[in-house]
Structure 1
Amino acid sequence: MTASGASGAVGASGVGPIKVVIADDQRMVRAGLRMVIETEPDMAVVGEAGDGVEAVALARRLRPDVVLMDIAMPRQDGLAATRALLATPSPPRIVALTTFDTDENLYNALRAGASGFLLKVSSPEHLLAAIRAVSSGEALLDPAVTTRVIAAFAGGPGPRPPAELGELTAREADVLRLMARGLSNAEIAAALAVGEATVKTHVARVLMKLGLRDRVQAVVFAYESGLVRAGAA
């Protein structure tokens, strides 16, 4: 487990570079990720971990903005480490890393609470865009991919709707349904004949009322709560 000081230009938070912790059991993978990230003036790798236990301890100590979390690691895998970190106050954003682009890996990462999913063979440009996206509170996944995966794994009998759904207004529920279908804010605005700024306000209220971190988690909630059924148009 290693840590280093953060320095550089102002990052997405506006108070310094985006602080990143890399968690992967392969030293060469960590070195490659560090090399790419540290070319950017608005990012800094503040630590590295070789397993899930180290990743949790390091992130709790250094309080990074983003953790790149390998799914398959010894002692504690990335999914368990993600759940542990997200149970802490003001948790970092988690980007799940994997070698395999399987629906099950993606679904499990989202279910654990990751804000995004990245293949280790992704381009440097994709990696950097992912870090910036999740650090600013955005979801990393293409909504169409998210919808496909959640639909595949949440296609069982309709569950009992959670009490939190009753907190949403009718319009907020409509917005959540459209988010779960993979529509962008602009597309939702067109579908509901309202302004895009209004949609952004509704999305923010949906996340707040449901206690969700981001758009990806809202899609998971919509399917698993039964608000949207798998295969629905």
Structure 2
Amino acid sequence: MDRVRVAVQAADPITLAGLTSCLTSRPELVIEPNHAEADVIVFVADRVNTQVLADLRQSAQEVSVPRVLVTNELNPADVLSVVESRVVAVLPRTAATGTRLINSVVAAANGGGMMPPDLLGELLKKIDYLRREVLTPRGLNSSGLTTREVDVLRLMADGMDTAEIAQKLCYSERTVKNVIYGVTGRLNLRNRPHAVAFAMRAGVI
């Protein structure tokens, strides 16, 4: 079995030493001092405040690996922000036993996550709000594509060229080109095949 490389980020050396000792008690885990080489990062903070949120965002931009957050205090209103910073597991410090910490790290390494029920409920509410109040009014689905973009991409996937798509949807060719240009630019897609592949992976065509 491949060993999971774990980096630990803590404000004080005592906490850092304790976590390191705990994590290395399992043979499948190894401490990785270089965060850029880690499979999972354990991030410890007494409370999640504005500075901690900024640190998490910065860390996620530098190293795109899952994070386990151990904290005494996390405002439910900030749960979406920490999830956007690649946090997949949250452990209250009072409940962060060695077994729970190790299980959270292993789950994170395997693409899973763990979160207290109250925070999970808050996260689901925020996602539902975004879907209803942000995506739907703008005509976007969860993939970030509009209905018109999906229609154009579906016909592209069927092998139609610009003129054929325009005729099928009763658009001008310029409109079709603008739709394609808009979706590739907004989603940083390289070309038409890349846009079709994106839509297929998103499950919208």
TM-score (norm 1): 0.50
Inter-CA distance 95–20: structure 2 relative to 1 (3 Å threshold): same
Partner of residue 158, structure 1: 133
TM-score (norm 2): 0.56
- Structure having the larger proportion of residues in helix: 2
Q: Percent identity of the aligned residues?
A: 12
1:95 and 1:64 map into 2 onto residues whose CA distance is 12
Whether the 8 Å CA contact 2:46–2:72 is kept in 1: the answer is no
Partner of residue 81, structure 2: 108
Deviating 4+ runs (over 6 angstroms): none
How do 1:23-172 residues align onto structure 2 when only pairs under 5 Å count? Answer: 23-47=9-33, 58-60=34-36, 63-71=37-45, 77-88=51-62, 91-121=64-94, 122-141=96-115, 145-151=119-125, 155=129, 158-161=133-136, 162=140, 164-166=143-145
AA of the residue aligned to 1:38:
T
The Cα of 1:117 is off from its aligned counterpart by 1.2
Inter-CA distance 127–165: structure 2 relative to 1 (3 Å threshold): same
2:38 and 2:128 map into 1 onto residues whose CA distance is 32
AA of the residue aligned to 2:35:
A
Greater RCO (CA < 8 Å, at least 6 residues apart): 1
**Which is higher, the Rg of structure 1 or of structure 2?**
2
Inter-CA distance 101–77: structure 2 relative to 1 (3 Å threshold): closer
Whether the 8 Å CA contact 1:71–1:77 is kept in 2: the answer is no
Whether the 8 Å CA contact 1:82–1:112 is kept in 2: the answer is yes
Inter-CA distance 107–165: structure 2 relative to 1 (3 Å threshold): closer
Q: Look up the SS of the partner of 1:116 in the other structure.
A: strand
1:106 and 1:71 map into 2 onto residues whose CA distance is 14
The Cα of 1:78 is off from its aligned counterpart by 4.0
Partner of residue 22, structure 1: 8
